Amino acid sequence: EVQLLESGGNLVQPGGSLRLSCAASGFTFSSYAMSWVRQAPGRGLEWVSAVSVISDSGGSTYYADSVKGRFTISRDNSKNTLHLQMNSLRAEDTAVYYCAKEGYCSSISCYRHFDYWGQGILVTVSS
């Protein structure tokens, strides 16, 4: 059974930092791209960042414009864990943050939807 468990959420002051983690189990973590998706209170879903599978040429990372330069995504395949380092936090970063596993690649195509989600972790940025 695939499980994704986020941790590290907290109340932090504007300008502060926080590191989220997502512990994965039930699948071969190193073989799948992973993403973070957030949802501000009462709002819709917003994709935040993604990290690809680490290949011989390294891994690739992607960011939403709203977090580029402030957030850093990383993965530790030895520990089956995804991280999101969040710096220079703003009030508008207040949200529930979800860790999400991306879909699979077949011989024909890659299906990069989100097939499994964690339960979410709340990050509150406020003074």
Binding interface with another protein (CB under 8 A): 35, 37, 44-47, 50, 62-65, 98, 103, 109, 111-120
Q: Dihedrals φ, ψ of 31, to 5°?
A: -95, 0
Cα separations (Å) of 31 from 19, 27, 79, 121? 23, 9, 13, 24
Smallest gap from residue 24 Cβ to another protein (A): 14
Residue 27's closest CA among 115, 88, 93, 111?
Answer: 115
Nearer to another protein, 27 or 47 (CB): 47
Nearer to another protein, 44 or 69 (CB): 44
Smallest gap from residue 99 Cβ to another protein (A): 10
Smallest gap from residue 111 Cβ to another protein (A): 6
Residue 69's closest CA among 52, 90, 55?
Answer: 90
Nearer to another protein, 13 or 119 (CB): 119
